[in-house]
A and B are shown apart, each in its own frame.
Chain A
C-alpha cells in the first residue's frame, strides 16, 4: 500500500488546519495541549522514514494491502459504464478504516500513551480500533450510540471479543454524534494518558488532515491501478460520504487531475424532501460541530438536527471540513442517494458480482448508477467510473435481511 503523503505546497489546510473558511479548532482549552502534541508527533512521524516504513509494512503484511481494483463486468453491464471497484472491503477488519487506525495506533505508541478511545457508528471504526489496540497492547474504550449497538450487534460482539470495552451512549439521539460527544468528554478528563482515535476526517485540527493522510493511499493505489488496467485515468471517482474519510481517501490523489470528476454521495435517507436524511452538504449549512467548522444539519438557532440513514456509518449530521471546501470550490460534487436507491444497488452488486457491500458503500454504487447515463451522454462513449467499495456488508446482513424481508419468521 502506498504511504505517499506528500502534499504539494499551497494546498489545504493552512498551519492552523483551515480549509478556506472551514476546519480549525473549536474545542475546550483543556484539549489544546493534546492537539498540539498530536500535531507535532504526526508531523515528525510523516518526516520519519522508519515510521513510514513501519506503517507500510503493517498495511501490506497485516491489513492485506494494496487492495484490488476489480473490473465489475456484470455490474458494469447494468450500469452502462465500466465500473472499477476499489476493494477496500477486502482489507483486514472489512473496511478502509484499518488504514487510519493503524496510522493513529502507531502515533499513540510514539506519544507514549497507553489508552485509546473511539466513537463508532456502524461499528467498523470501533472494530478497527479494537483490533489495533489488541495488536499494540493498548487499553481500548469505544463509545457507541445505544441505537447503533442494537442495529450493529455483531460489531459490538466483535469489539468485546477483541478486548475492548463498549460503552452504549444514552444521551441525545443515541447515535454517532452523541458517541462523539461522550468520547470528547472522556478525552477532556483523561487526556494525559489517552489518545482519542477519531474515525473520520473530521474533528479539530490536526485530525482532518492527519486522517486524510493516513487513508489517501486508497486513491494513490487506485489511480495507478486504473492507469495499469485501462491505460488512462478514470472519468469519475465515486464514494459515499458520512464523515467522509473513505471519500477523501480516494479523492485526494485525484484532486490535481482536473479531468477526473469527483462525486461524493451523501445519505439522502427517506428523501431530501422529508427532512429525514444525513446529507450535511446537500441539506445543511455552515456551522461549528465537534471541534470544526463545516456543513452541519442544524436549525436556525444552531442546534444540531438528528440525522437519518439506513446506514449507521453515514448517520452523522456533519461532514469533514475538507469536503465542505471541495464542495464550495466546485472541485467535487455532492449528491444525495436515498435508502431505497442504496438498497437497490446493494442487491444489484450481490446478484451480479457475488459481493455483499456495506450499506454505506452501496450509496456510492447507487451514485455510480445515477451518474453513468449523464456521463455517457456527455462523453459520447462508455464512461469509466472508479467506485470506492469502502466496506463489506457482513455487518449489515440483519438490516438488509429485514429490508428485503428474506429472514425466516419464528
Chain B
C-alpha cells in the first residue's frame, strides 16, 4: 500500500479525517515554499499537496492563479518542483503532486514519473487529465509504483464515477462543488451525496476539495469524507501577509485550526 494509503488508514483508525494542504511550488519563492510546507507539516497538516505552477490553470480560482503567477514570475522550473518535493518528503509527511497535464507531457511522462518517485513523491492529482487520455500516465505510474488520483465531480454519471475510481490508486479526489478552487462561505450540499456515490463503487479513501477554508468546515467535511483538502485558504495566509514571517505565522495558525477540525469530525 502507498504511503498515502497508510496515512488514510491510520486516520480512519483514529476516527478522524486526514488533512491535505496544498501550496504551489515556488510560491512565494522556492525556499519560501519549502518553509511554508514544512510549517504546515509542523502545525498538523498530514499530507502536503505540491501544485506545479502552470500558466493556464482553468480549474483554479483567483488565489491559486495569483500564487502560480508569482511562482512563475520568480522563474520556478519543473525541476525545482522535484527538489521541493524531495525537501518536504524529508519531513516524513507524504507528498502528493497536483499538476495540469502539459508540464508533465513536456518533461516526458515516463521521465517525470521516474524522477518523482526518486524524489519521494507518492503520485499525481491530475485536474485536466481524465482516464481516457491517460494511457501514458497509467503505464508510467504502474512502472514506478506511483499513485493516481483522478477527479470525480457532482456532474459525473454513475458509469463515469465507476470508471474513474477504477483507474485511481491511493485516493479519489471528489470536487465538492461545480466550480473552481477557492474558499467559500458555505460548505457544499453536493459533496456528501458525491462521496456516498463514490463509496458505492470503491473502497479507496475519498478526499474532498474545493471551498474548504475554516476549522468548522474541515470538521463538517471530515464527518463524511476520509480526507479534507485545503488550498486557497492556506495560500491566502501568505498572499495577504506583509512578509514571509507574518505569512508563516498565519499559516501555522490556520493549519492548526484545520488540524483540530479534522480531529473533531461532525457526523
Contacts and interface: CB of A to CB of B under 8 A. Distances in A.
A288 B105 contact: yes
23 contacts: A24-B132, A25-B130, A25-B132, A26-B101, A26-B129, A28-B128, A29-B152, A33-B157, A188-B58, A188-B59, A188-B178, A188-B180, A288-B100, A288-B101, A298-B102, A301-B77, A301-B78, A301-B107, A302-B102, A303-B54, A303-B55, A303-B72, A304-B55
Given A177-B56, A303-B72, A32 B105 contact: no
Contacts of A302: 54, 78, 102-107
A287 interface: yes
Contact of B179 (A189, A288, A291): A189
Nearest to A33: B155
Interface of A: 16, 24-34, 171-172, 177, 181, 184-185, 188-192, 287-291, 296, 298, 300-304
A24 B133 contact: yes
A300 B133 contact: no
Given A27-B130, A28-B59, A289-B56, A189 B105 contact: no
A191 B178 contact: yes
Interface in B160-193: 160, 164, 175, 178-180
A92 to B, nearest CB: 32
Nearest to B104: A302
Contact of A29 (B61, B101, B102, B150): B150
Contact of B151 (A29, A34, A289): A29
Contacts of A304: 55-56
Interface of B: 54-59, 61-62, 65, 69, 72, 77-78, 100-107, 127-130, 132-133, 150-157, 160, 164, 175, 178-180
Contacts of A172: 55-56, 69
B55 A16 contact: no
A26 B128 contact: yes
A25 B132 CA distance: 8
Nearest 10 Cβ contacts at the A-B interface = A302-B106, A30-B153, A189-B179, A302-B102, A302-B103, A184-B58, A33-B155, A288-B102, A304-B55, A303-B55
B178 A29 contact: no
B155 A191 contact: yes
A16 B132 contact: yes
Contact of A301 (B58, B62, B103, B132): B103
Contacts of A192: 155, 178
Contacts of B130: 25-27, 29, 32
B106 A300 contact: yes
- The listed residue with most A CB atoms (<10 A of its CB), out of B56, B107, B130, is B56
Nearest to B76: A301
- The listed residue with most B CB atoms (<10 A of its CB), out of A33, A189, A288, is A288
A296 B102 contact: yes
A304 B153 CA distance: 27
B119 to A, nearest CB: 16
Contacts of A177: 56
Nearest to A177: B56
A24 B61 CA distance: 25
Given A29-B155, A33-B157, A171-B65, 10 more contacts: A26-B130, A30-B155, A33-B156, A177-B56, A189-B178, A190-B178, A300-B106, A301-B78, A302-B54, A302-B78
B239 to A, nearest CB: 15
A29 B58 contact: no
Contacts of B154: 30
A30 B150 contact: no
A189 B180 contact: yes
Nearest to B57: A181
Nearest to B175: A30
Contacts of B156: 29-30, 32-33
A189 to B, nearest CB: 4
A72 B107 CA distance: 49
A26 B133 contact: yes
A16 B155 CA distance: 20
Nearest to A183: B58
Given A192-B178, A303-B55, A185 B61 contact: yes
Given A24-B133, A30-B155, A181 B180 contact: no
A390 to B, nearest CB: 26
A188 to B, nearest CB: 6
A34 B160 CA distance: 13
- The listed residue with most B CB atoms (<10 A of its CB), out of A191, A287, A303, is A303
Contacts of A300: 106
B62 to A, nearest CB: 8
A290 B58 CA distance: 8
Nearest to B58: A184
A184 B132 CA distance: 20
Contacts of B57: 181
Nearest to B156: A29
Contacts of A171: 62, 65, 69
Contact of B127 (A16, A28, A301): A28
A128 to B, nearest CB: 23
A269 to B, nearest CB: 19
B181 to A, nearest CB: 10
A336 to B, nearest CB: 23
Contact of B105 (A33, A34, A287): A287
